[in-house]
Amino acid sequence: MGLISAIEHVIKKPIWDCKMCGQCVLHDTGMTCPMTCPKTLRNGPCGGVREDGHCEVKPEMRCVWVKAEERSRTLPLMPEAWREHFNNLRPPVDNRLKGDSSWKNAMSGRDKETPPGWTPEPEAPAAEVEVEA
């Protein structure tokens, strides 16, 4: 692990339980790390969320995505764009980046690279679907 990765790990591990995937999406997911979901889902909650909002796999833990969804709406001081990105289709994880510093990869743009066969993400439905509470 390089120096930058080590610093990133020391800061992000205690706050977000960061798993060092090397391609951070925290800002788009309500500042909640999707890699802490036991299924490592990057695009929203699975269908197994329990009636109490807890995780299918770990019943003692609140579903990471229930938390993320709530925080993407309610966290103060978050730029509007970050909230809007919540519904974006996030591409498959590049497993080669595991352990790398996501800061470094964000600066170089490496974390935005997708496989050549991956089609650009379709428009996010955020603003389009209004659900009555």
Residues that bind ligand SF4 (CB under 6 A): 37-39, 41, 45-46, 48-49, 55-57, 63-65
CB closer to ligand SF4 out of 46 and 124: 46
Counting residues that bind another protein (by CB under 8 A) gives 45
**Window 83-102: contact mask with another protein (x via CB under 8 A):** ----x-xxxxx-x-------
71, two tokens: 């925080």
Indicate the residue type of 99. G
CB closer to ligand SF4 out of 35 and 97: 35
Which of ligand SF4, another protein, none does residue 132 bind (CB under 5 to 8 Å by kind)? Answer: another protein
CB closer to ligand SF4 out of 48 and 125: 48
Beta bridge partners of 62: 54
Which of another protein, ligand SF4, none does residue 64 bind (CB under 5 to 8 Å by kind)? Answer: ligand SF4
**Contact between 29 and another protein per CB under 8 A:** no
3-state secondary structure of 65: helix
- Cα angle vertex 67, ends 61, 70, to 5°? 155
DSSP-assigned letters across all residues of 3-62: HHHHHHHHHHHHHH-----SS--GGGTTT--GGGSTT--SSS--TT--TTSB-SS-TTSB
